[in-house]
């Protein structure tokens, strides 16, 4: 639910992406640099669109992963305005750097694999698919 | 840091071309003109221009390399150092564009620059690894790169003269790996980044660093994308600004990084399997390469590139250097992080 009229966030991102792709890209074809930069803009809007669609769900999943790793059962505030997830990540970083988690390598590795794959799914899902295809061929 | 004066940022204007022609005439000691100047794409950290000059009536295509307002990495060499280094490499027979004239005075074109001979070819990574017209070049490239890298690592440090002392090198009480890790931590902290994956990778790097080998001269950015390639193969090794004294295995691992394969499958820059490449390098360099150390440096190269992506994005985010290309690198960092995690898994499985 939102107070604002449509288009909503995801729809505005998509409309802008569509405009760049269908109108601007063909118009700047003759300028290699501008064309390349516009392709980057299109890609950033694709990332933003995926994040708008699944970012909140991914934050909840990350919170649950952190719970499982720490062996606790806390809940992520519905509106994480005080940055609870960020604070928890920062604490994890400090623990890793200080070597306090050296004896939990396997569990930590598994946690980071999940967090990293979740980010890759937003930033570059095609690359993630290519990795998984390779793994399926050569496990 | 010198900021370019607006009037000379665009070298294609008649005023800028006149100034450049006047500099050339003084430097070369003959009448000179500049017919055209056009920006070359590809340098994220330096301003590069294709210059068509008339040197004493003879047409001479040149490349001008100049500082941008913000530097990519503060440890990068100055144009003066880079120019002298290229002279040494050129004299030693390394395939490098012939360096011609240096202008250290920022008053001439807004910031220091140098000119080198233009080398025909392409450095665009994706093209080098996949363009059909470069198929012959790709067959020649692996041996050429191995031989060039060996020649670079065999450059006697004495031939660098005073420059040897100025080149970045690990502190006496450290190692190249430890130094790289320390710098990565410092960069993360300066950005205020909290990234648990990068923290884990750096911690792992610290706990698994290989025994250091004898330090050598190192190019610092030897990869597909920085090598000018023509139809026959390698035309010139470019981008010397990250040259340093370091571990030669670092460069072998760096050349193998997934991101420098530009989508092609083969491990060495998308153009060669690793073993035959290393065999040619070993024969040319006269030293045996520890494969596990190369694995390690490929992994650490990914970690460092993952950190640098974030710092590149920060150039945009801080407002210092607004650019959508720089901004987008922030979202590419995780690609290097995931690759590095996978390399950790492979290294641990191999032990």
Is residue B203 assigned to a domain? yes
**Structure tokens, B231:** 């139809």
Residues A1-49: pLDDT tens digits? 568 899 999 999 999 999 999 999 999 999 988 999 999 999 999 999 9
Show residues of chain B in contact with A112, CB under 8 Å. 196-197, 200, 341
Residues B148-187: pLDDT tens digits? 999 999 999 999 988 988 999 999 999 999 999 999 999 9
Confidence label for B28 from pLDDT (cuts 50, 70 and 90): very high
pLDDT above 60: residue B71 = no
Is residue B252 assigned to a domain? no
Show residues of chain B in contact with A24, CB under 8 Å. none
Report in angstroms the alpha-carbon separations of B327 from A54, B198, B231, B248, B318: 21, 19, 34, 32, 10
The alpha-carbon gap from B102 to the nearest alpha carbon of chain A, in Å, equals 28
ipTM, 2 dp? 0.95
> Bridge-partner residues for B113, per DSSP?
B66, B103
**Structure tokens, B3:** 């900021």
Which residue in the set B197, B203, B341 is minimally distant from A97, CB to CB? B203
The alpha-carbon gap from B208 to the nearest alpha carbon of chain A, in Å, equals 13
CA distance B347 to A101: 20
Residues B203, B128, single domain; the answer is no
Scanning chain B, the segments in alpha helix (DSSP H) are 6-9, 14-28, 79-91, 106-109, 125-130, 135-153, 163-166, 176-191, 196-207, 248-255, 274-285, 291-317, 324-329, 333-350
Mark yes or no for CB contact A93/B203 under 8 Å.
no
Q: Provide the sign of the torsion angle of the four alpha carbons B211, B215, B220, B223, taken in this order.
A: negative
Between chain A and chain B, the number of residue pairs with CB atoms below 8 A apart is 74
pLDDT above 80: residue B278 = yes
Find how far residue B213's CA is from the centre of its chain. 22
Residues B282-294: pLDDT tens digits? 999 999 999 999 9
Residues B230, B110, single domain; the answer is no
Mean pLDDT of chain B: 93
Which residue in the set B195, B207, B324 is minimally distant from A37, CB to CB? B324
Residues A42-77: pLDDT tens digits? 999 999 999 999 988 999 999 999 999 999 999 888
- CATH code: domain of residue B95: 3.30.200.20
Phi, psi at B323, each rounded to 5°: -165, 130
Mark yes or no for CB contact A116/B342 under 8 Å.
no
Residues B131, B239, single domain; the answer is yes
CA distance A64 to B261: 36
Show residues of chain B in contact with A99, CB under 8 Å. 203
Mark yes or no for CB contact B341/A123 under 8 Å.
no
pLDDT above 70: residue B43 = no
Instruction: Tell me what pLDDT residue A13 has.
Output: 97
**Closest-approach residue (CA) in chain B for A98:** B203
Scanning B154-287, the segments in alpha helix (DSSP H) are 163-166, 176-191, 196-207, 248-255, 274-285
B12 close to B50: Cβ distance less than 8 angstroms: no
Mark yes or no for CB contact B334/A124 under 8 Å.
yes
Is residue B176 assigned to a domain? yes
Mark yes or no for CB contact B200/A108 under 8 Å.
yes
What percent of chain B has a predicted confidence (pLDDT) above 70? 94
> Bridge-partner residues for B227, per DSSP?
B237
Owning domain of residue B38: 6-117
Residues B202, B283, single domain; the answer is no
3-state secondary structure of B29: coil
User: What are the residues of chain B with a beta carbon less than 8 Å away from any beta carbon of chain A?
Assistant: 39, 41, 185, 194-197, 199-200, 202-203, 207, 324-325, 327-328, 331-332, 334-335, 337-338, 341-342, 344-345
CA distance A78 to A91: 21
Which residue in the set A43, A90, A131 is minimally distant from B194, CB to CB? A90
Mark yes or no for CB contact A108/B41 under 8 Å.
no
Instruction: Tell me what pLDDT residue A139 has.
Output: 63
Mark yes or no for CB contact B331/A117 under 8 Å.
no
Is residue B262 assigned to a domain? no
Q: Which of B289, B318, B340 is the last residue of a domain?
A: B289
The alpha-carbon gap from A3 to the nearest alpha carbon of chain B, in Å, equals 30
Which residue ranges make up each domain of chain A?
9-137
Residues B125, B178, single domain; the answer is no
Is residue B320 assigned to a domain? yes
Q: Provide the sign of the torsion angle of the four alpha carbons A109, A114, A120, A126, taken in this order.
A: positive
Other Cβ atoms less than 10 A from the Cβ of A78: the count is 8
B302 close to B332: Cβ distance less than 8 angstroms: no
CA distance B297 to B249: 7
Report in angstroms the alpha-carbon separations of B111 from B114, B237, B301, B347: 10, 24, 31, 45
pLDDT above 80: residue B5 = no
Vertex B155: Cα angle to B151 and B158 (nearest 5): 170
- The number of distinct structural domains making up chain B is 3
Mark yes or no for CB contact B341/A36 under 8 Å.
no
Q: Tokens 């040619």 correspond to what residue? A: B280
């Amino acid at each position: 639910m939102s107070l604002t009229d449509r288009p909503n966030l995801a729809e505005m991102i998509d409309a802008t992406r569509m405009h760049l792709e269908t109108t601007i890209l063909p118009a700047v074809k003759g300028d290699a640099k501008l064309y390349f930069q516009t392709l980057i803009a299109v890609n950033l809007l694709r990332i933003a669109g995926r994040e708008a669609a699944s970012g909140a769900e991914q934050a909840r999943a990350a919170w649950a992963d952190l719970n499982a790793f720490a062996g606790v059962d806390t809940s992520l505030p519905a509106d994480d305005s005080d940055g609870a997830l960020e604070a928890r990540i920062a604490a994890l970083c400090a623990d890793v750097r200080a070597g306090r988690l050296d004896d939990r390598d396997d569990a930590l590795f598994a946690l980071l694999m999940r967090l990293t794959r979740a980010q890759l799914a937003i930033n570059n899902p095609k690359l993630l698919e290519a990795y998984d295809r390779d793994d399926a061929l050569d496990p | 840091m010198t900021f370019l004066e607006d009037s000379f940022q665009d070298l294609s204007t008649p005023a800028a071309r006149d100034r450049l022609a006047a500099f050339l005439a003084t430097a070369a000691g003959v009448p000179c003109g500049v017919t055209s100047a056009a920006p070359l794409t590809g340098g994220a950290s330096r301003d590069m221009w294709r210059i068509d000059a008339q040197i004493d009536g003879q047409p001479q295509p040149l490349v001008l390399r100049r500082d941008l307002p913000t530097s990519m990495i503060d440890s990068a060499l100055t144009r003066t150092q880079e120019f002298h280094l290229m002279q040494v490499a050129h004299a030693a027979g390394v395939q490098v564009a012939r360096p011609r004239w240096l202008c250290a005075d920022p008053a001439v074109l807004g910031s220091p620059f140098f000119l080198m001979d233009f080398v025909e070819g392409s450095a665009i990574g994706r093209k080098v690894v996949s363009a059909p017209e470069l198929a012959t070049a790709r067959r020649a490239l692996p041996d050429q790169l191995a031989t060039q890298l060996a020649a670079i690592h065999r450059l006697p440090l004495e031939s660098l003269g005073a420059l040897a002392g100025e080149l970045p090198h690990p502190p006496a009480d450290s190692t190249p790996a430890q130094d790289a890790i320390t710098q990565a931590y410092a960069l993360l902290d300066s950005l205020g980044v909290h990234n648990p994956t990068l923290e884990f990778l750096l911690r792992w790097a610290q706990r698994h660093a290989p025994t250091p080998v004898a330090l050598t001269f190192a190019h610092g950015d030897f990869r597909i994308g920085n090598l000018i390639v023509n139809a026959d193969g390698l035309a010139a090794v470019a981008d010397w600004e990250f040259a340093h004294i370091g571990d030669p295995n670092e460069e072998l691992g760096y050349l193998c990084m997934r991101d420098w394969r530009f989508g092609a499958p083969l491990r060495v820059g998308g153009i060669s399997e690793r073993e035959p490449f290393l065999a040619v390098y070993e024969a040319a360099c006269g030293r045996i390469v520890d494969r596990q150390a190369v694995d390690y440096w490929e992994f650490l190269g990914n970690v460092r590139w993952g950190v640098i992506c974030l710092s590149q994005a920060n150039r945009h985010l801080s407002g210092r250097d607004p650019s959508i290309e720089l901004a987008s690198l922030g979202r590419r960092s995780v690609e290097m992080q995931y690759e590095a995690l996978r390399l950790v898994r492979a290294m641990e499985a191999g032990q």
